[in-house]
Structure 1
Amino acid sequence: MITWLNNKIDQLLQPELLRPENLGQLHPGDYVPIPSDIVLPSIITAFAFVLIRHIFDRLVVYPIGTYFGLKDSIPRKNTFDHPVLEQEYKNSKSPTSDVILVLSKKTGISERTIQFWFKKRKKQDKVSGIKRLSDSSWSFAFYFVLSWYGIYVLSNKQWSTKTEDCWKGWPLLTVSNDMYYYYLLELGYYISYIYMLFTDHKRKDFLEFFIHHNVTVILLILSWSVNVVRIGALVLCIHDPVDYLLTFAKSAVYCKKHRVADVCFVVFLFLWILTRLIVYPYVVLYSVYIELPTLAENDINIKTLDSSLVIQFLKALLVVLQVLHVLWTILIFKSAATKFTRGELQDARSDSEDDEKDEDDDDVLNDENFKEMSNNNTGNDGIGQ
């Protein structure tokens, strides 16, 4: 069954990439990428990462979070059920005064009580500090380890500094064992993180992250299938070192170590601009859009590669990544601006509604109309429609 599945994967993702005459040119021990060698192993690796994540939470995150006074759960204060208000809550968690007025007329509930209802309803969705720390700490641990592993792997590769060599000799570009494991771990992580996006706390930029991680998975699989692993490894190595700085800064914020977070954020901001807005476009995109077509003019194999639909698709995905870089840069600068206006580093890439202050909590609890409806918990009964 596994053999049959692997054969189907190879037929789908790598149809006749290497002809018999190509294979005859390989030296004993040389290895060129085969899709079945990484697709199923990466799925198994993804399951392993999910399991390791749970162990990491229990052995590392929870003790650290508890030490810094973070709570594993948030007290839930019941609110009365009401389908009309619940439906509006799905549309907007902070309705305008005009919408509240309409809801008041529709339900027969006072505007003040409706305002209280929305405040209490939002508190039910708040995410605990431990869960936030879990997300950022896990990302930090992965990116920290893999970024330095990637730098180690690429440090002795000539093509890492001379990007023309990412293409010369295709399709007989051999892959070393360390490169294989680098790709396998990265692919397994991003597959696992797509799942974790649905299980971790809600993000303001959920869609951007979902697109980014799916694009990354597709890039990794396709680049492996057509043996353009070298340029793919450069993309990974450019991205990872910056990400662990951001996730560490977020972890420091959750642990109330704002000075540490500020220092990390400044370093992160500098490296983000350097890698995402300068190195990535002027190294990766330049190599893909300028060097590759130039080499294709004098090499029939590279010309075949450059004119293939797969490479055109990969080129488009690399541009999508750059668009996401620009969008995230805007969010990051908003976060930096918030630092100067509020004096506290905010996570512009998470749902800011979860960070609301609780100044009016006592008023909410003590409001007589609200207490009566909460105690009755009657839904529509006794409420005018």
Structure 2
Amino acid sequence: MDLLPDLWKQEYWLPPGVTWKDMEQLADSNRPEPQDLLVALPLSLGFVVLRHVFERFLAPPLCRYFGVKKRSRMPAGSFPQLEVFYSQRSSHPTQKEIASLMLLCGKTQRQVEMWFRRRRNQDRPCQTKKFGEAAWRFFFYLAAFVAGFFSLIDRPWFWDHRECWRQYPFQPLERAHFWYYMLELGFYFSLLLRISVDIKRKSAKMFHYGTGWKKTCDSLFVVFSVVFLVTRLVIFPSKLIRATLLLSMEVFEPFAGYYFFNILLMVLQVLHIFWAGLILRMVFKFLKGKLEKDERSDEESVTEEEEDNSEDENLDQSRDCYWEKSKETLNSRLSALTNNCVLNNLTHQRLSLPNRMTKSQ
């Protein structure tokens, strides 16, 4: 029971010599409170509704404009025993389970594996749904960037980072910044509410799903790479981490919150370096003309769907090839049979020719 009061000790969150009572000198309208976080909960529900409206009414016209179409998928077929196993046990059976399913439904191993592959593809989101998810994030992030830029551009501490710590921690919270934080938090809460049905997609994937937009997608990839590397590897450590780690020490002495938040920023910078490594590897492949997929994305669903399509194409090709070979074999046999018939007739006529000559004499 004493854990919660200890968590809010002023020594943890405030510089030395500052107490929670000192923070009360700020006006109530300008002082942030922990209960303000509850404002993000109804906002998250509003984002869920707004997203539903976007994907229902705005995403379909955008799909048609970008040429995004649903790919036809081969149906798995009706096999009750396999369907029960798929829904109740696993969508990826082991080799031992496949062997038992072969005996249960009287199918070959190839047929059972093909059924599970097609059945998994039926549950995956189609291209239009993926496009709608990417488009929703694209428009939100674009609006958030514009709103954040214009709410910060005229503030003195946007240009001089020493201004961030002037009069700290007795700094009023402006209403524009308050609502910006709450809207951002509400948006990410809405993603948590839909995390079980969503697949994380990049905003640039919109052009990847469309037809005839390859150059646009490549251009956006180049822009994204440059912006990411500059902002995450140059601006973030040289400006933000420098301000929190070094410039703040000109105003107050270190305390627990100082170490806590700076450690989190350092962990984030390590992740930036890791992601930058992946992006640079993609850029290298892009320059060599060998970039085929986004290495940051989950490859399993895309790879398996492509394998399923290739399997179907190979199956169709094998059927066509088998039919062509069958026709060739049939034609050769008919030709041989015809030749034999003609040869037999000629032989018979040659043998019967002397008899007919004798009879005529």
- On whether the aligned pair clears a TM of 0.5, the verdict is yes
In the alignment, the residues of structure 2 paired with residue 53 and residue 73 of structure 1 have an alpha-carbon distance, to the nearest angstrom, of: 24
Post-superposition Cα deviations, 1:215-244, rounded to whole Å, max 9, x if no partner, equal xxxxxxxxxxxxxxxxxxxxxxxxxxxxxx
What does 1:247-286 correspond to in 2, within 5 Å? 247=203, 249-256=204-211, 257-286=213-242
Deviation at 1:254, TM superposition (A): 1.1
Deviation at 1:87, TM superposition (A): 6.3
Q: 1:194 to 1:154 in 2, by over 3 A?
A: same
The answer to whether structure 1 residue 359 and structure 2 residue 310 are counterparts is yes
2:129 alignment partner, one of 128, 131, 134 = 131
Q: 1:21 to 1:112 in 2, by over 3 A?
A: closer
In the alignment, the residues of structure 2 paired with residue 124 and residue 177 of structure 1 have an alpha-carbon distance, to the nearest angstrom, of: 47
1:48 alignment partner, one of 40, 46, 50 = 46
Q: 1:274 to 1:75 in 2, by over 3 A?
A: same
The answer to whether structure 1 residue 197 and structure 2 residue 214 are counterparts is no
The answer to whether structure 1 residue 32 and structure 2 residue 52 are counterparts is no
Which residue matches 2:160?
Answer: 162
In the alignment, residue 253 of structure 1 is paired with which amino acid?
H
SS across alignment from 2:196: helix
Verify the 8 A CA contact 1:74 1:127 in the aligned structure 2.
Answer: no
In the alignment, the residues of structure 1 paired with residue 280 and residue 129 of structure 2 have an alpha-carbon distance, to the nearest angstrom, of: 25
In the alignment, residue 54 of structure 1 is paired with which amino acid?
H
Deviation at 1:169, TM superposition (A): 1.2
Deviation at 1:341, TM superposition (A): 6.2
The answer to whether structure 1 residue 307 and structure 2 residue 255 are counterparts is yes
Q: Which moved more, 1:72-81 or 1:129-138?
A: 72-81
What does 1:73-88 correspond to in 2, within 5 Å? 75=73, 77-78=75-76, 80=79, 81=82, 83=85
Backbone CA RMSD of aligned residues: 3.6
Verify the 8 A CA contact 1:85 1:103 in the aligned structure 2.
Answer: no
Deviation at 1:364, TM superposition (A): 5.4
SS across alignment from 2:171: coil
Q: 1:341 to 1:21 in 2, by over 3 A?
A: closer
Long gaps (5+) in structure 2: 320-361
In the alignment, the residues of structure 2 paired with residue 278 and residue 317 of structure 1 have an alpha-carbon distance, to the nearest angstrom, of: 18
Deviation at 1:11, TM superposition (A): 7.9
In the alignment, the residues of structure 1 paired with residue 127 and residue 274 of structure 2 have an alpha-carbon distance, to the nearest angstrom, of: 27
Q: 1:86 to 1:326 in 2, by over 3 A?
A: farther
Identity %: 26
Tell me the number of residue pairs that the alignment of Structure 1 and Structure 2 aligns: 296
Which residue matches 1:112?
Answer: 110
Deviation at 1:66, TM superposition (A): 3.4
What does 1:1-385 correspond to in 2, within 5 Å? 19-24=20-25, 26=26, 31-37=30-36, 39-71=37-69, 75=73, 77-78=75-76, 80=79, 81=82, 83=85, 90=92, 110-201=108-199, 247=203, 249-256=204-211, 257-292=213-248, 294-295=249-250, 299=251, 302-303=252-253, 306-308=254-256, 310-337=257-284, 339=286, 346-356=293-303, 357=306, 358-362=309-313
In the alignment, the residues of structure 2 paired with residue 115 and residue 104 of structure 1 have an alpha-carbon distance, to the nearest angstrom, of: 8
Post-superposition Cα deviations, 1:120-153, rounded to whole Å, max 9, x if no partner, equal 2442343211111111111111110111111111
Verify the 8 A CA contact 2:76 2:115 in the aligned structure 1.
Answer: no
TM-score, structure 2 normalization: 0.69
SS across alignment from 1:199: coil
Verify the 8 A CA contact 1:73 1:128 in the aligned structure 2.
Answer: yes
Q: 1:168 to 1:77 in 2, by over 3 A?
A: same
SS across alignment from 1:174: coil
In the alignment, the residues of structure 2 paired with residue 283 and residue 350 of structure 1 have an alpha-carbon distance, to the nearest angstrom, of: 30
TM-score, structure 1 normalization: 0.65
SS across alignment from 2:219: helix
